Structure 1
Amino acid sequence: MPQYIAWFDELSKADVSRVGGKGANLGEMTRAGLPVPPGFVVTTEGFLAALSDAGVRDELRAAFVSADPDDPAALAAASLRMRELVERAGVPSEVRTALAGAYARLGADAAVAVRSSATSEDTGATSFAGMHETFTNVVGEHALIRRVIDCWKSAYGQRVIAYRRAEGMTEEPTIAVVVQKMIASARSGVMFTADPATGERGTIVVEAAFGLGEVVVGGQVEVDTYVLAKDGPKMRSARVGHKAFKIVRGADGNDEKVPLSTGEADRRVLSDAEAEALATMGLRVEAHYGTPQDIEWGEVDGVFSLLQTRPITTLAGASADAAPASDSGALITGLGASPGVGSGAVRVLRTPGDGAKLQRGEVLVAPMTSPDWVPTMRRAAAIVTDSGGMTCHAAIVSRELRIPCIVGAREATRVLRDGELVTVDGRRGQVTEGLVPAAPPRVEAIAPRPVAATEALATRLYVNLAMAEHAETAAALPVDGVGLLRAEFMILDALGGQHPRELVARGGGREFVAKMRTQLLRITRAFMPRPVVYRSYDFRTNEFRGLAGGEKHEPQEENPMIGYRGCFRYIKDPALFDLELETLARVREETPNLHLMIPFVRTKWELERCLERIARSPLAGDRTLLRWVMAEVPSVAYWLPDYAKLGIDGVSIGSNDLTQLMLGVDRDSATCAELFDESDPAVVDAISRIIAGARATGMTSSLCGQAPSNHPAFAETLVRLGISSISVNVDAVDAARRTIAAAEKRMLLDAARSALQPRS
């Protein structure tokens, strides 16, 4: 006889096929004696009975098998049709009767959470994180039945279909539904029984906030982070976040957002003893499953409950430069912009249109590069340009591609000759004659490294990224996420060197969204659940004009660095920005760790207009989307309080542009390169004002310029100023971690010495 209802204490991991991963895990924890709020599961037998009784099961199976995840329009239509079939099927009378009886056992009109539990969900290989529906504070039999149908329908959502195909799962979807008694958590959070960023298994990481857990899993506030050694368990470090608000269950049963005073917001959520007690529970869960776990928890009246567990699916498992070139016999010198040594035959190119002439492994020599050079640059063993500074396009792209690069070499295109064999030392800024015999081949991406124990930091460490092809290897580094994901290079990859407005004019908006979505998902999936902050496009007119069709859409400017760029572009010509917003919305359906950062914001009214566009986009109403602004224009220090009132969550200091505007130095100028100094006292003063202003207004602060990657002392200055996070290039992660850790230790020692000083 079919069993449509199964209680938690009846279930184990052997029941995944009929209650799904979530239901089986709740059963395992309940039977292990762990504190789990009571509940039951509407089994897959109930779901399949509904489809069979309505006569739609075969039609659904055929529609699922034929759905094309690479055709967005067809996928949307197929998903809608399948969801309509499930809606039409409804809940059969025998399933409805069993469901009503089980609900009554939880209490008259009990408030329950209703969660989808797919049979492939929350397993060691696939998590389906956030893809199926979940509902909280469901009260009453009629509302419960409605939400069960909604969970069933979510098995045929667009993102679920696409994810199943990406994971090679072609079998008929089946889904169960968990019904669990709600607890009105006063405190809540997530606990990882291994460090999800580094894979270090001797560590437990607990994230905590006040109120319901939505603010934690959705990244809506700066949570407390407690790092504990499993041996004990014993507290290693506690970082107290600024929790600007909490979400509580209101008298009407709906969630309410409650602002917290500064004193409350900066108060610790957990004491050392409480965090250690929670970690002890985590160790019991891990011991039961035999593998590191990602656990959601809540607390009511001093009692901790475990709400959900799943295996951590993101646990991870640089090449050294060749010997430096000799000082003698340099053919040309310039600024070392990207470290490494590369050898090959010279290929002098004047325009990106000549890119096809460059053979893989040759040394590209050009007057300067712009975004349309990227496909050519990928094939180069090394790059040398006549002009440019440390933050020019050639330098940034070369560091991203891990290609040795020299910029500002002035006469490289005149002195170096096609076919000449040379060696480029990107650290020392020298081009020498001949090949270095021991020079290894250029590494295309960061080589994965064995996971080692990594010291926890109070200051978050993020990585800068620009290309999807490096996502997996960058995600294996000990970082907390992506602090700067540059849109420009991905757009160029998606459009193949064509100007975006030209594509839009030809009706290619759907093509843009589809291609960008594919690239972004590769990055966000690799970093889940760590945040990925996407900086919307910030092309300058001189860069845009070089793209195919660019001359029709770009004005000619004498000073493009301070011209038509950033936020102002989105207001004057919003077509591309609107497509970006649509892309972000589609990606967040599957991976909600993606957030938005708006560049080069000069004034309050610009930002207001830009936020209005977001409010009219598919992202409207997305409560978990974080909205950041770049702090590149000095005016941001004045406007920060107003930006906070507009709902901006964080500010990221772009030290390259900020230095340029503070000191009046064109960052692309080779002639003035010696004047460009991010550690100049005037620049540091501006940065300190921005960090202080962000903290005063409840925003997080970060810095994503080149300086922390090149100058350890600058990174220490940022830590001492109280910055929330630092984002560095991939090749600077290890050095940055060491510098930040040393700075934090020195600050603790300074504070201890100060406390021990006798008072007069």
Structure 2
Amino acid sequence: MKTVYWFNELSKKNLAEAGGKGANLAEMANMGLPVPPGFIVSSGAYFDFLDANGLRDVISEETGKLDVNDERALGRASEAVKAAIIGARMPKDTAAEITRAYNKLCGVSVMPAASQEVPVAVRSSATAEDLPEASFAGQQATFLNIKGSDNLVKSVQECWASLFEARAIYYRIQNDFEHLKVGIAVVVQKLAFSDKSGIIFTANPVTGAEDEIVVEGGVGLGEAIVSGSVTPDSFIVSKENMQIKSRVIGRQDRMVIRAANGTEWKNVPEALQSRQKLSDAEVLGLAGYAKKIEEHYGKPQDLEFAIEGKKLFIVQSRPITTLKKTAAAKALRQANEAEQSRRVEARSRPTGAQPASTESAAATGGSEGKVLLKGAPASPGRASGPVCVVVGAKEGYKVRKGDV
């Protein structure tokens, strides 16, 4: 296996070399979709790195008899493995290959001058990522606005270490994935200087409706939206006529922007916070790309996008592995449809007229009342209980039985 592959060398079939994220980006780039150019540091480079530094034994020793329900032990094992990976030496040949690829991405054949250094996004791509029976998404690291080959090589190594975040170790053990059989590739792409960014679902993740596309976005880099740190604008587009059928405009007070080397948080100007961030044309353009991608893969997709000026970019696509047609989702959809019907009826009723019966009014919850709270549902619901706030897996021991 080579150390570095360019997108045009791979396809969606190359999961072993490029991981789910990398293989899907290569596939979309070769479809002619607007994907920022880049290359992939293969999973083979990761395994060669482990062998060159004798790290397989370290991983086996730290995770072999680990009780993942012991949160403190899990945290200690995670920190030990990550420290060993970050502290190990990158093989010279591997570092040289990554540097050559970065120089090529910068458009030069030798080390670029500081002014020629292209800022890149560095994203982890696990080789077992996004299989139908697994959902590894979000468990590994992403670094934005990385400049210079030395910083890039360091970021690649940190991506490898993130394969052993506590939650990633926990997930693999709980789902019977062997740690040393799950590899990790790293995607390196030119960073889109995104004014706006967000996510797209080609099926409604709340109701399970597969005839709807959900577009959520805001201003700044995608890190804020993807992590759930801010409230995005949310649009539902009908697949049947590709028209916007509903919109909820969120109030976004913070955004992530590029810094000297990396990213930082910045306040959104007051005048923009409660305004619609994505134009209708942008929403429909993104929905069109999303529909094309879903048709190509033959299953609902979860995508990420970036908008630079008037250019739309797709920066990730993966299958939705958590879409379930649950009874709760069905009930929520029926309730939404009933509410829409009630509103249509109310608009068509003469002024002062009353519903046909008190029974029908009760069935729809009545037409009058004080709204206490409104917003977009995050989930149709699965459990309830006292809320326990923790900062990462290290504090998981604080959670008691019955907490959520």
CA 1:447–1:282 in structure 2 vs 1: closer, same or farther (change >3 Å)? closer
Query: Aligned match of 1:169 in 169, 173, 177?
Result: 177
Question: Are the equivalent residues in 1 in contact too, given 2:197–2:220 (CA < 8 A)?
Answer: yes
Question: Structure 1 pair 14/61, CA: closer, same or farther in 2 (3 Å)?
Answer: farther
- Shift in alpha-carbon separation, 1:73–1:270, aligned structure 2, 3 A: closer
Shift of 1:127: 2.6
SS at match of 2:399: helix
Contact 2:195–2:219 (CA under 8 A) maintained in structure 1: yes
2:200, 2:290 within 8 Å by CA — same for their partners in 1? yes
Cα distance in 2 between the residues matched to 1:181 and 1:518: 45
Q: Distance in 2 between matches of 1:253 and 1:460?
A: 32
Q: Identify the residue that residue 141 of structure 1 maps to in structure 2.
A: 149
Letter in 2 for 1:487: P
1:306 and 1:24 map into 2 onto residues whose CA distance is 14
Call closer, same or farther: CA 1:452–1:460 in 2, change over 3 Å. Answer: closer
C-alpha displacement at 1:448, in angstroms? 5.9
Q: Which residue of 1 aligns with 2:89?
A: 90
Check the 8 A contact 2:249/2:275 in 1, yes or no. Answer: yes
The 5 A counterparts of 1:391-410 are none
The normalised TM-score by structure 1 is: 0.44
2:260 and 2:61 mapped to 1: Cα distance? Answer: 46
Shift of 1:52: 1.0
Determine the C-alpha separation between the residues in 2 that align with 1:137 and 1:461.
31
1:188 is matched with which residue?
Answer: 197
Q: Name which of 363, 375, 386 aligns with 1:460.
A: 375
Shift of 1:212: 1.4
1:13 partner SS = coil
Q: 1:449–1:38: structure 2 CA closer, same or farther, 3 Å change rule?
A: closer
1:289 corresponds, among 272, 297, 302, to 297
1:24 is displaced (CA, Å) by 0.9
2:253 pairs with 224, 229, 244, which one? Answer: 244
1:4-153 correspondence to structure 2 within 5 Å: 4-107=3-106, 108-153=116-161
> Which structure has the greater CA radius of gyration?
1
Closer, same or farther: CA 175–244 of 1 in aligned 2, 3 Å? same
Q: Which amino acid in 2 is paired with 1:222?
A: T
Counterpart for residue 560 of structure 1: none
User: What letter is aligned with 2:192?
Assistant: I
Alignment of 1:236-275 (within 5 A): 236-250=245-259, 254-262=263-271, 264-275=272-283
For the pair 1:232 / 2:241, whether they are aligned, the reply is yes
The one of 382, 386, 392 aligned to 1:487: 386
Give how far 1:98 is off: 0.7
User: How many angstroms does 1:23 deviate by?
Assistant: 0.8
Q: Is the 8 A contact 2:290 2:303 kept in 1?
A: yes
Distance 2:185 2:241 in 1: 38
Go from structure 1 to structure 2 and tell me whether the alpha carbon gap of 1:226 and 1:253 turns closer, same or farther (over 3 Å shift). same
SS in structure 2 opposite 1:227?
A: strand
- Could you tell me which residue of structure 1 aligns to residue 317 of structure 2? 309
* Amino acid of the structure 2 residue aligned with 1:316: K
On the 8 A contact 2:22/2:187 being kept in 1, the answer is: yes
For the 8 Å contact 2:207–2:330, the answer to whether it is kept is: no
Instruction: Say if 1:519 and 1:298 are closer, same or farther in 2 by CA, change over 3 A.
Output: farther
- TM-score scaled to structure 2, two decimals? 0.80
Pairing of 1:542-561 with structure 2 (within 5 A): none
Structure 2 CA distance for partners of 1:221 and 1:58, relative to 1, 3 Å: closer
Instruction: Indicate whether 1:198 and 2:207 are aligned.
Output: yes
Give the match for residue 399 of structure 2: 516
Percent of pairs identical after alignment? 36
Secondary structure of residue in 2 paired with 1:189 = strand
Count residues with an aligned counterpart.
356
> How much does 1:518 deviate?
7.2
Question: Relative to 1, partners in 2 of residues 1:183 and 1:453: Cα closer, same or farther, differing over 3 Å?
Answer: same
- 2-structure distance, mates of 1:21, 1:218: 19
Q: What RMSD in Å do the two structures reach over aligned CA positions?
A: 3.0
Secondary structure of the residue that 2:17 maps to in structure 1? helix
Structure 1 residue 72: deviation in Å? 2.3
Opposite residue 205 of structure 2, the aligned amino acid is P
Q: Could you report, residue by residue, the CA deviation over 1:146-173 in whole angstroms, capped at 9, with x for unpaired residues?
A: 1111111111222111111122213523
Residues 132 and 519 of structure 1: CA distance in aligned 2, closer, same or farther (over 3 Å): farther
How far the C-alpha of 1:89 sits from its partner, in A, is 3.1
CA distance in 1, matches of 2:329, 2:222: 34
Cα distance, 1:447 vs structure 2: 6.2
- 1:640-696: CA deviations, max 9, x gaps? xxxxxxxxxxxxxxxxxxxxxxxxxxxxxxxxxxxxxxxxxxxxxxxxxxxxxxxxx
Structure 2 gaps of 5+ residues are 107-115, 341-373, 390-394
User: Does the C-alpha gap of structure 1 residues 453 and 208 become closer, same or farther in structure 2, counting only changes over 3 Å?
Assistant: same
Q: CA deviation at 1:85?
A: 2.8
1: CA distance, partners of 2:279 / 2:206: 24
Deviates more, 1:139-148 or 1:247-256: 247-256
Verify the 8 A CA contact 1:75 1:158 in the aligned structure 2. Answer: yes
Cα gap change, 1:517/1:313 in structure 2, threshold over 3 Å: closer, same or farther?
farther
Aligned equivalents of 2:282, 2:101: Cα separation in 1: 34
SS of 1:487 mapped into structure 2: coil
- Conserved? CA contact 2:256–2:263, under 8 Å: no
Q: Is the 8 A contact 1:41 1:179 kept in 2?
A: yes
User: For the structure 1 residues 232 and 137, does the alpha-carbon distance in structure 2 shift closer, same or farther, using more than 3 Å as the test?
Assistant: same
Aligned amino acid, residue 240 of structure 1: I
Q: Retained in 1: the 8 A contact 2:145–2:261?
A: no
| Alignment partners' CA distance in 2, 1:246 and 1:77 | 33
In 2, distance between residues paired with 1:212 and 1:20? 23
Distance 1:515 1:5 in 2: 43
Shift in CA distance, 272/76, structure 1 to aligned 2, threshold 3 Å: closer
Distance 2:273 2:207 in 1: 28
Extract unaligned runs of 5+ from structure 1: 318-445, 464-474, 492-511, 524-760
CA–CA separation in structure 2 for the residues paired with 1:113 and 1:243: 23
Kindly indicate whether the alpha-carbon contact (under 8 Å) linking 1:248 and 1:258 is maintained by their aligned counterparts in 2: no
Q: Secondary structure at the match of 2:76?
A: helix
Map of 2:355 onto structure 1: none
Deviation, 1:517, is: 6.4
- Aligned residue for 2:69, secondary structure, equals coil
Output one character per residue of 1:345-383: Cα deviation in whole Å (capped at 9) or x when no partner. Answer: xxxxxxxxxxxxxxxxxxxxxxxxxxxxxxxxxxxxxxx
Say if 1:284 and 1:228 are closer, same or farther in 2 by CA, change over 3 A: same
Q: CA deviation at 1:80?
A: 2.6
SS, match of residue 153 in structure 1: helix
Q: Distance in 2 between matches of 1:170 and 1:517?
A: 28
Indicate conservation of the 8 Å contact 1:200/1:452, yes or no: no
